[in-house]
A and B are shown apart, each in its own frame.
Chain A
Amino acid sequence: MIRLPSKTTLTIVAFGAILGLADVVPALRDYKVMDWRTIPGVLDFVDRRPSVDPELEERQRLRPETNPYKQIRYPILDPKHTLDSFYQALLQTEGKKQGEVVRILHYGDSPTTADLITSDTRVLLQKQFGDAGHGFCLVAKPWAWYAHRGVDLDGSGWEIDPANQSTVRDGLYGLGGVSFRGGAGATARIRLRDRGHRSIEVAYLRQPGGGQLRAEADGKELGVVNTDGAVRGSGFARFRIPEQTRVITLQVMNATVRLFGVLLSKDVPGVMYYSLGVNGAYVSVLARLMNEGHWREQLRHYRPHLVIVNYGTNESAYPKFVDYVSEKETLEVVRRIRKALPDTAVLVMSPMDRGQRMTDGEISTVPAIPRLVAIQERAARESGCAFFNTFEAMGGMGTMGRWYEAEPRLVGADFIHPMPAGAKIVGGLLYQALIDGYNKYKLRLLRKRTMVASN
């Protein structure tokens, strides 16, 4: 005889019946919690072993072709060939001619602040074209999150004003969007893991009553910078540093000194890729918060060949800003850069995917992201800039949900910030897109020369 426990059996059957009510009673349809179609899934014996290398799998998913000429790549949209000046500089650098350095400025938000994505693109470009130095970095950490691969920062005694959280609000934040005010004793220590750097350039504010700053390399004095000046303006002090220098120290000797950052260079041709991130930044940091004249001075001093404008993740939390303000602000940023550097290429780079947890538990793309990407693409086209669709290149809608499910994860639990492996994928995509454009430029050049020769 069968020995079914009666009460428990009845409880289970009644429980199933109550759940089933939502399927048969129309009024209860909104309370449906059981999807009966999932029952056969119990017999599904698929392999659930975690991936050994999710980064590699994601790369393969994005580019399933092993033949590099057939790989699916998201190209940079640049119908007017506005990046040609940049490609030309790359071509000259590739020839390893002494003094040929390509400078790229990459403005962005929190991933850029931590040198995620940018450090990966930097490594790849420098591998191909040469390493001309780390480039620009701030003198201390405005946020614990601030990081530059290959450079360790340690500062004390500074009053730090990021452009978007400033107490001074005068718009003078140097190239990197942050200013550091320090009295006597304020110190910045910059430890270099790569000992091939041969010069530093300190960026500061020249101002009436400005103090003096001592620069040292491994404890040996390089010189003293006097920041006193009749009028306020950008100042730069360049020093040669001995070979194998490990630590650069900057110390305020007297009065108040206002610093913006330091440029680390080598003596060899190659690429310098400046990662210029401000935590929590949005496009208005460049369009409104940076003083236009001061920023222009800075941009002209550093003479970049390419400026990348990469915002949008923070904006995407504010749909009204996306729909009514972001296009105007993007156009204003391009206008400011063009006014400062008429011959420099500008690339608008869209934000990555940004995920959010939906009521059904799924992680899907924040609705404003695709709209913002479309707006940025239009702004880039209207202003004659190149455009890179990071969002589509990394897989489009739902990418962060997929990245979150990967093991180990490719994105953090906020579905915004990529883990280092995820950042490497995006950095690789940007590099691939730049190199695609560069190769096409070389082809065009070759065709032009062939035509001239045949004529």
Chain B
Amino acid sequence: MLLSSSAYFIFLIAIFFLYWVVARSRALALAAILFGNYFFYAKWDIFYLFLIPAASTVDFAIGLGLGREKKRWARRALVGTSVAWNVGLLAALKYMPFFLENWSAWTGQPKPEWHWSFPLGISFYCFQALTYTLDLYRNDAKATSSYLAYLSAVSFFPTTLAGPITRVAALLPQLERKDRELSGEEGGRAVFLIGLGLMKKLLIADYLGANLVNRVFDFPNLYTGMEVLIAVYAYALQLYYDFSGYTDIAIGSALLLGIKLPGNFKMPYAAESVPDFWRRWHITLSNWLRDYLYFSLPGLRSKWKILTYMNLVITMVIGGLWHGPNWTFVVWGLLHGVGLGATRAWQVWRGNPRPNQAWWAKGSRIFFTAQFVCFAWVFFRASSMENAWAVLARIGSMSVSFANISAPIAMVMGIALVAHYTPAGWYKGLSGIFVRSPFYVQAAAMALLLLAIHYVAATGAAPFIYTKF
């Protein structure tokens, strides 16, 4: 059930009414959310109905242990078990085919069969679950004694498929509070975000994907170097609008139930450096990697400064691999790790000077950062390393023709670029106007949007790119 499908919105409306009808009772409200969570998982595969409760129960029990246990070694053992359990789940359900394939390639042995592949949303689930036990271990949060609240939080359906990765400790107080209510302003903002997300996804991301990006990445050799280069830029826009569209719908859906989720994007292609990009792109993942992985790696305070750079690379390679069992993601992570390390080394060498604020200097930094990010996206999008080389080789051929870049494609890319660089304040202003509008205006605006999507997009909803990770 995609977040942009009509089935999802029918489901969401049903959960909305169910939740608010029983909202006065804490237990019933949590049960309504838990029902929604497991219904959502079951729509993908009934097996999740066994997997997710079992996985959550283990972490809940570990959480109870961490809440009571004071001995250092016991706490280490408990958190170690939680890490092993979640990483083991990820390895078994998502990465095993990749491991077996590489093992087979290296040893020359036939690849053993593996039928336990349930990759959907499992990366997000495991990372979200780990925030709970790791926060408890670090005494950054308190353990909940409510099994129901924990189950509702750790598998909260709007975040299931593609985040935003939300700390369970941040969700729990919102789910457990007694004074549940949804103001007209919050409800309006939720509806606005859902509408905005649908526009981003169906009018921009899917259009660029279906009409240019997928075609070029399928068969780069059928296109000129310039067309392939434009397709890479189009992919950068597609990915942003797809993922940020998903995030808007997820945040809006949660907000309809009175739950606030963290934001995930801040105009990422306006980043002036690679570290700046990671403060603007998939913010909840970069925060997770920084807080739970990078800070946990040994050597952070070592006199051997090289370890800091190595840790950056290791963190980003693991972050890359988290996106999927494919060497292309490893290369993508490696590129960003090296980019982050090189930027830090440069800044240290120059004594952390304040960047030149002249428009041309800022513009150059934004331009070159965007080029680096787009170059790395080639590996992120490519189906294999061969495919990535084919794309880069075509760009390197420098052949020029724009025959496959139709006027509508150019127009959608232009709109997408302008919309991306539009100041956030403008969106806030627009959201304010929508929120203050009477209910019938809001309803009419949403109906008009749906009509526009129906007639303009006409490509059917493609799966969200980030739900594959």
A187 CA to B215 CA, complexed, in Å:
32
Q: Are B458 and A145 in contact (CB under 8 A)?
A: no
Q: Choose, from A41-49, A127-135, A192-200, A206-214, the stretch at the interface.
A: A41-49
B54: Cβ under 8 A from any A Cβ: no
Chain B neighbourhood of A17, CB < 8 A = 443
The smallest C-beta distance from A50 to any residue of chain B, in angstroms, reads 9
Q: Are B7 and A38 in contact (CB under 8 A)?
A: yes
Q: Are A4 and B21 in contact (CB under 8 A)?
A: yes
* Known A5-B20, A33-B451; contact A10-B215, beta-carbon cutoff 8 A: no
The smallest C-beta distance from A292 to any residue of chain B, in angstroms, reads 30
Q: Are A11 and B20 in contact (CB under 8 A)?
A: no
A359: Cβ under 8 A from any B Cβ: yes
* Known A4-B21, A7-B184, A15-B446; contact A42-B218, beta-carbon cutoff 8 A: no
Chain B neighbourhood of A13, CB < 8 A = 443
Q: Are A360 and B442 in contact (CB under 8 A)?
A: no
Chain B neighbourhood of A12, CB < 8 A = 13, 16, 443
Give a binary string over B177-192; 1 marks a CB under 8 Å from any A CB, 0 the rest: 0001111100110110
* Known A3-B181, A11-B187; contact A417-B222, beta-carbon cutoff 8 A: yes
The smallest C-beta distance from A4 to any residue of chain B, in angstroms, reads 5
Chain A neighbourhood of B43, CB < 8 A = 45, 48
Chain A neighbourhood of B13, CB < 8 A = 12
Q: Are A357 and B215 in contact (CB under 8 A)?
A: no
* Known A34-B6, A413-B210; contact A8-B184, beta-carbon cutoff 8 A: yes
Chain A neighbourhood of B446, CB < 8 A = 11, 15
Q: Are A8 and B256 in contact (CB under 8 A)?
A: yes
Chain A residue, CB-CB nearest to B22: A2
Give a binary string over B188-208; 1 marks a CB under 8 Å from any A CB, 0 the rest: 101100000000000000000
How many chain A residues touch B (CB < 8 A): the figure is 48
Q: Are B190 and A413 in contact (CB under 8 A)?
A: no
The smallest C-beta distance from A253 to any residue of chain B, in angstroms, reads 28
Q: Are B17 and A4 in contact (CB under 8 A)?
A: yes
Q: Are A41 and B7 in contact (CB under 8 A)?
A: yes
Chain B neighbourhood of A412, CB < 8 A = 214-215, 218-219
Q: Are A413 and B218 in contact (CB under 8 A)?
A: yes
Chain B residue, CB-CB nearest to A10: B439
Q: Are A414 and B439 in contact (CB under 8 A)?
A: no
Q: Are A360 and B458 in contact (CB under 8 A)?
A: yes
B105: Cβ under 8 A from any A Cβ: no
A57: Cβ under 8 A from any B Cβ: no
A1 CA to B215 CA, complexed, in Å:
55
The smallest C-beta distance from B118 to any residue of chain A, in angstroms, reads 8
B221: Cβ under 8 A from any A Cβ: yes
A417 CA to B222 CA, complexed, in Å:
10
B44: Cβ under 8 A from any A Cβ: yes
Q: Are A8 and B181 in contact (CB under 8 A)?
A: no
Within 8 A of A (CB), among B428-445: 439-440, 442-444
A143: Cβ under 8 A from any B Cβ: yes
Q: Are B221 and A145 in contact (CB under 8 A)?
A: yes
A14: Cβ under 8 A from any B Cβ: yes
Q: Are B218 and A414 in contact (CB under 8 A)?
A: yes
Q: Are B447 and A42 in contact (CB under 8 A)?
A: no
B69: Cβ under 8 A from any A Cβ: no
Within 8 A of B (CB), among A1-44: 1-15, 17-19, 31, 33-35, 38-39, 41-42
B52: Cβ under 8 A from any A Cβ: no
Chain B neighbourhood of A417, CB < 8 A = 218-219, 222
Chain B neighbourhood of A231, CB < 8 A = none
A49 CA to B117 CA, complexed, in Å:
9
* Known A7-B439, A38-B6, A362-B460; contact A49-B11, beta-carbon cutoff 8 A: no
A33 CA to B202 CA, complexed, in Å:
15
The smallest C-beta distance from B46 to any residue of chain A, in angstroms, reads 6
A14 CA to B190 CA, complexed, in Å:
16
Chain A residue, CB-CB nearest to B442: A11
The smallest C-beta distance from A154 to any residue of chain B, in angstroms, reads 13
Chain A neighbourhood of B440, CB < 8 A = 10, 14
A2 CA to B24 CA, complexed, in Å:
7
A230: Cβ under 8 A from any B Cβ: no
Give a binary string over B97-136; 1 marks a CB under 8 Å from any A CB, 0 the rest: 0000000000000000000011000000000000000000
A361: Cβ under 8 A from any B Cβ: yes
CB within 8 A of B218: which of A18, A279, A419?
A419
Chain A neighbourhood of B7, CB < 8 A = 38, 41-42
Q: Are B191 and A143 in contact (CB under 8 A)?
A: no
Chain B residue, CB-CB nearest to A15: B443
A376: Cβ under 8 A from any B Cβ: no
Q: Are B439 and A11 in contact (CB under 8 A)?
A: yes
B459: Cβ under 8 A from any A Cβ: yes
* Known A33-B454, A362-B460; contact A3-B442, beta-carbon cutoff 8 A: no
A144: Cβ under 8 A from any B Cβ: yes
Q: Which of A14, A47, A417 has the most CB of B within 10 A?
A: A14
Chain B neighbourhood of A145, CB < 8 A = 219, 221-222
A110: Cβ under 8 A from any B Cβ: yes
Q: Are A3 and B450 in contact (CB under 8 A)?
A: no
CB within 8 A of B447: which of A4, A18, A48, A144?
A18
Q: Are B187 and A8 in contact (CB under 8 A)?
A: yes
Give a binary string over B249-267; 1 marks a CB under 8 Å from any A CB, 0 the rest: 0000000100000000000
Q: Are A42 and B210 in contact (CB under 8 A)?
A: no
A332 CA to B313 CA, complexed, in Å:
64
The smallest C-beta distance from B201 to any residue of chain A, in angstroms, reads 14
Q: Are A3 and B24 in contact (CB under 8 A)?
A: yes
Q: Are A5 and B458 in contact (CB under 8 A)?
A: no
Chain A neighbourhood of B282, CB < 8 A = none
A162 CA to B44 CA, complexed, in Å:
50
B291: Cβ under 8 A from any A Cβ: no
CB within 8 A of B450: which of A2, A6, A33?
A33
Give a binary string over B207-230; 1 marks a CB under 8 Å from any A CB, 0 the rest: 001100011001111100000000
The smallest C-beta distance from A145 to any residue of chain B, in angstroms, reads 4
A6 CA to B450 CA, complexed, in Å:
23
Closest 5 CB pairs of A and B: A8-B187, A361-B460, A413-B214, A14-B443, A7-B184
Q: Could you pull out 5 A-B pairs where Cβ atoms are within 8 angstroms?
A: A5-B187, A8-B188, A38-B7, A42-B10, A417-B222
Q: A8-B184, A414-B215 given; name 16 further pairs at CB < 8 Å.
A: A9-B20, A10-B439, A10-B440, A11-B191, A35-B6, A38-B7, A42-B14, A45-B42, A114-B221, A145-B219, A359-B458, A361-B459, A413-B210, A413-B214, A413-B215, A417-B218
Residue positions of A touching B, CB distance < 8 A = 1-15, 17-19, 31, 33-35, 38-39, 41-42, 45, 47-49, 110, 114, 143-145, 279, 357-362, 409, 412-414, 417, 419
